[in-house]
Structure 1
């Protein structure tokens, strides 16, 4: 199971970058978006360490500011390095999807990603 956990963290990082690329967001909002996209089992204890790692690697930039309801929140947006990392993740994911489907007997066409 530990291997699955590591694979999931890598996939989650790419998904987090994608969500942040579409709209500046804060942690709890990001958690809700991940859950509504099918990652129902994601918890704050998984998300926040990933956000810290992405910030440490300079893929995202965090800015503390007051929310409309008055609380201070950390809002995240993508850095230029984050945009490059996201593009690399998307390319890697598309190739991996095709390769795994070829082995598992699913759709063999690469047309889906062209």
Structure 2
């Protein structure tokens, strides 16, 4: 990814993580691995974990500690009602921005 892509991604990564969690509960490494599979090769675990902490502090997810075969229990995150509301708002904002950017690109007023 180029620098511009990385910078733009930083602005929407929280929404992307909420969208991933809307599909199913997951832990940090699972989210990172899935994002990489989707082409976000430069995503690092530390960035995802920092966002998960912030999302948890804001009350957008429920967290369950699940035993791990290797090491300490994993924190599995699932989107709660407040998180779903936030995700709905993210998609509303995303749609607004996409529409305005398309108009700008096409030279409309």
TM-score tier after normalising by the smaller chain length: 0.7 to 0.9
2:58 is matched with which residue? 57
Worse-superposed segment, 48-57 or 37-46: 37-46
How do 1:11-22 residues align onto structure 2 when only pairs under 5 Å count?
11-22=12-23
Do residues 75 (structure 1) and 76 (structure 2) align?
yes
Give TM-score, length-normalised by structure 1. 0.80
Give the structure 1 partner of residue 104 of structure 2.
Answer: 103
* CA RMSD, Structure 1 to Structure 2 (Å): 2.2
Unaligned stretches of 5+ residues in structure 1: 109-114
1:105 CA drift (Å): 2.3
Deviant stretches of 4+, over 4 Å: none
- C-alpha distance after superposition, 1:50-105 (max 9, x if no partner): 110000111112211114x3652110001111000000001110111111111122
Cα distance between partner residues in 2 of 1:82 and 1:90? 12
Length, aligned pairs only: 104
SS in 1 for 2:98: helix
